[in-house]
Chains A and B, each alone.
Chain A
Amino acid sequence: MSGRTVIAIKNTQASLSESLSKPPTSDGFSISRKINGFLEWFGGLGMFAWAVLRAGITPPYEWRELIRQFDNIGSMSFPLVALAGAAIGVVISMEARYSLSRFGAKSMFPATLVYSVIQVMGPIMTGLIVSGRVGAGIGAELASMKVSEQIDAIEASAVNPYKFLAATRILACILMLPLLTLAADASGLIAGWFAQNLVEPLSFQQFINSGFHGATFNEFLPPTFKTAVYGLIIGTIACFQGMRTRGGAEGVGRAATNSVVLASLFVILADVVLVKFILMVFP
């Protein structure tokens, strides 16, 4: 299935970033060209996503490659995400202590830290870190495979590259993002409590009881699981950018950069929509 779809995608797309980077012309057509490029990019992305979905749900499934991607995307991102989560926890802890002290609301510190980390900072920070690490990795890997004809070789071996390369990576991103978010949240809370504990002793038990007092699953699960959408965005954009690359080493670099930039941008935009959606559905 893939050969023709790849061709169709190749023939009908112009990269968003390429079109945006073209110098403006005075002929009055530059704006319409940019809009065309933007729409073509979205059209190509839609066709790509449809091709991946169709290939991904058709057996036989690529379990081995999927497990390899769980490791690549999940396990290997874990230290970075946990470290960044800890740093964010410490920063929030210091800022919150200072701000809450000014208003005489120091007792609110545990809840402030818990809600800030789990509802806001943990998910978006994990999304952005994975965009950088995994987005660049997938974009560069697939682009390199594309320019060295390895993707063509996969197709020539009668293996669907949408299933083998893209579906596995996208699914691994979708499943790993919520788990990585939990890891970031946990390390953020522990590091934040530890930072507070150094200044003003507070037992971990007290911190947890006070922080989660009156909290419901509806307040914490949706922000964590919304990161599956970030995973979908990161995986799809990185695979799309990688598999449509042209032009040697420069193309590989461009694919990696575009994957990170576009995935990060769309993760932030998705966050706006998802926060509003969650507030509406889980008021």
Chain B
Amino acid sequence: MATESETAMKDERLQKDESSPVVAVNQLHKIFGSHVVLNGVSLSVNRGETLAVLGRSGTGKSVLLRIIIGLELPDSGSVNIHGQNIVALPLDQMGEIRKKMGFLFQHAALYDSLSVAQNVAFPLEHHRRGMSIAERDDRVKQLLSEVGMDGHLEDMPSDISGGMQKRVGLARALALEPDILLLDEPTAGLDPISSGEIDDLILKLQREHRMASIVVTHDLHSAKTIANRVALLDQGNVVINGNFEELYRSDIAFVKEFLKYSREEVCRE
């Protein structure tokens, strides 16, 4: 569990965040070689809000998440977390910022030499050093119970399905009680039932924890289920940034094409 001072700091942060964006990216540019991945992307998310970032493959959705958590550096632009620009932040302070964020990787990225319980315990072992072993075990069980994985504590990641791995990844992402949750393709590669279960789980966690969330996905159906707002990226630019009604009413050719194929995909499912 978080220490008293950490809890107090978090409460203070949350009060402040009710009125100001928790995550705000401004004019982000990123180029790999000659490929422009992000071309002046600006987005923001408030506490309790979920933003779905949609777009074709290779339009920089995952890169955007990686920049927000500091795994990539932008060529220019700023990333403000609780009002603090983390792009110019000294490297040792970046760790403190990351403790406020949970990240679910596209393929879960569980540590394959550790059991399910050890994976979830990993952030706690490193950042809750005052926690006793019994307290840590209880917290791990609670987190795994929240994501419906309480019967798999000793399983290895290779022994569980892709959907289960995502659930464990989600439990690990929530271990430090983050204010910000970043989800990279949470339903990619899953069957419709598992996708629906993951969506329901994310929705439940959102209601309980009221985090600011950014979900990168191709899956419009999933995005509609879990997000309040949507941003559509095309060739490194944000072409829509608003609610789903705005998306459906848009006359932009790319948006219409994206919706056409997304609907077909939903029908096929």
Contacts and interface: CB of A to CB of B under 8 A. Distances in A.
Same assembly: yes
Most buried by B among A149, A153, A155, A159: A153
B99 A153 contact: no
Nearest to A144: B112
B103 A150 contact: no
A4 B96 contact: no
Given A1-B94, A3-B94, A5-B91, A155 B109 contact: no
A101 interface: no
A157 interface: yes
B129 A157 contact: no
B129 A160 contact: no
Most buried by B among A2, A144, A150, A157: A157
B224 interface: no
A82 B94 CA distance: 45
A156 B107 contact: no
A75 interface: no
B41 interface: no
Interface string A138-182: 000000110011101111111110000000000000000000000
Interface in A1-18: 1-5, 7
B56 interface: no
B112 A3 contact: no
Contact of A158 (B73, B96, B106): B96
A156 B72 contact: no
Given A1-B94, A5-B91, A7-B73, A153 B111 contact: yes
Contacts of B98: 155-158
Interface in B85-104: 91-92, 94-96, 98-99, 101, 103
A153 B91 contact: no
A28 interface: no
Contacts of B126: 157-159
A60 interface: yes
A148 B107 contact: yes
B253 interface: no
B195 to A, nearest CB: 20
A145 B103 CA distance: 17
Interface string A103-147: 000000000000000000000000000000000000000001100
25 contacts: A1-B91, A1-B94, A2-B91, A3-B72, A3-B73, A4-B73, A4-B91, A5-B91, A7-B73, A145-B111, A148-B107, A149-B107, A150-B110, A152-B109, A153-B105, A155-B71, A156-B101, A156-B105, A157-B123, A157-B176, A158-B99, A158-B123, A158-B126, A159-B95, A159-B126
Interface of B: 66, 69-73, 91-92, 94-96, 98-99, 101, 103, 105-107, 109-112, 122-123, 126-127, 129, 172, 176
Name the 4 nearest CB pairs between A and B, nearest first: A1-B91, A158-B98, A149-B109, A153-B109
